Amino acid sequence: MSPANDHYAYYPGCSIRSTSKAYEQSTMKVVESLGMTFQEVEDWNCCGATEYFSINSLPAYSLVARNLSLAAEQGASDLVAPCSACFLNLHKTDKYMGKYKDLNEDVNQALAAGNLGYEPGSLQIRHLLDVIVEDIGFDTIAEKTEKPLWGLRVAPYYGCLIVRPDSKYNPEYPTHLDELLRVLGATVVDFPLKTHCCGGHMTQISDETAYELIRRLLHNADEYQADAIATICPMCQMNLDVFQPQVNRMFKTDFDIPILYFTQLMGLAFGISEKELGFGSEVVSANAALKKIADEAPEKAKKARRDKKALPMPESLP
């Protein structure tokens, strides 16, 4: 676990102030409960999402680097982003500026027009999930849990952005979110597609392609009888939630799986009210899923005895 930090620069990003208000609402409640201090980057701008880098790379990197420069001026060592796309752009820009001299010079020349500059490596760019798990730790989270999510079956969905190369997460099978949900008392279901893409902005380009990507994720969660999907990204949440009815119409399915932010589930376990956490703003209602949360911990399944005549089998890992 990383050492606790009492001062984090905070980059909210555009989505969290528009289509994903429940994410920031629940994030701030959880951060407050954990005694963390987030200082918003003053005069921050859009990170450009993911498409801009494919259109004109220098303005794209400069746009992101402006946020890095402003954050560094505030004196923080860590910059936290709840949005996976924002995290990726901030992390990538910081790394590439340090790796490619020409890019660093060109970007800083652009920044100089606004009396700004950025020294790559000045900040540690981190996703909110990483900060909560690594800096706060599971022991503290367990202590804060007043109302465990017993009986709630949750599929942990990371999406494809946070597990890109150079991140600290296993690109095939990350576990931070799984472990966090278990500490909160939830039953974490197997979710083989946990790092597959939600389609991003494909919904604006091809309905057929986008809805198939979303259908696969919903089907996988449904296969393992998930009551809800927990996500760490505004784009992932929007695609799986807002377009779930369209997916049902196109594929003649009947998915009814609420897509919730992991901070909303943390807040529930901490005893914070649903209203304060932004519940009710989701398209697919979470009401039915939340009613499945039990007052008592489920009984652990008894380990079946092996037939003495059976061939010896290796013990499964814990």
Judged against a pLDDT cut of 50, whether residue 2 lies above it is answered with no
31: which strand partners?
none
Report which of 263, 222, 264, 257 is spatially closest to residue 240, judged by C-alpha positions: 257
Scanning 270-313, the segments in alpha helix (DSSP H) are 287-290
Judged against a pLDDT cut of 60, whether residue 57 lies above it is answered with yes
* DSSP-based three-state secondary structure for 123: coil
Round to the nearest angstrom and report the end-to-end CA distance of the chain: 21
- Asked which of 8-12, 14-18, 126-130 is least confident by mean pLDDT, the reply is 14-18
Note the pLDDT tens digit of each residue in 191-212: 999 999 999 988 989 999 999 9
Judged against a pLDDT cut of 50, whether residue 306 lies above it is answered with yes
- Contact predicate 200/232, CB 8 Å: no
pLDDT given at position 313: 60
DSSP 205: T
Q: What pTM value is reported for the model? A: 0.91
Judged against a pLDDT cut of 50, whether residue 72 lies above it is answered with yes
pLDDT, mean over the chain: 92
Note the pLDDT tens digit of each residue in 154-164: 999 999 999 98
CA-CA distance, 299 to 281, in Å (whole number)? 33
Judged against a pLDDT cut of 50, whether residue 1 lies above it is answered with no
Average of pLDDT values for 104-120?
97
Structure-model confidence comparison of residues 3 and 68, the more confident one: 68
Judged against a pLDDT cut of 90, whether residue 317 lies above it is answered with no
Judged against a pLDDT cut of 70, whether residue 314 lies above it is answered with no
- Asked which of 109-123, 210-224, 248-262, 285-299 is least confident by mean pLDDT, the reply is 285-299
Structure-model confidence comparison of residues 254 and 295, the more confident one: 254
Average of pLDDT values for 135-145?
97
Exposure string (b/e) for 173-200, b if CB count within 10 Å is 16 or more? ebebbbebbbbbbbbbbebebbbbbbbb
pLDDT given at position 52: 76
pLDDT given at position 171: 77
Q: How far is CA 278 from CA 126, 134, 195, 242, 272, in A?
A: 24, 25, 25, 16, 11
- Asked which of 113-122, 169-178, 235-244, 267-276 is least confident by mean pLDDT, the reply is 169-178
Kindly write down the DSSP assignment for every residue of 11-32, as one continuous string.
Answer: ---SGGGTTTHHHHHHHHHHHH
Task: Enumerate domains of the chain plus CATH numbers.
Answer: 3-127 (1.20.1050.140), 145-291 (3.40.50.11810)
Q: How far is CA 144 from the centre of its chain?
A: 21
pLDDT given at position 56: 86
Which residues are CB-neighbours of 122 under 8 A, at least 6 positions away? 68, 72
- Asked which of 46-60, 97-111, 171-185 is least confident by mean pLDDT, the reply is 46-60
Average of pLDDT values for 277-284?
97
Judged against a pLDDT cut of 90, whether residue 301 lies above it is answered with no
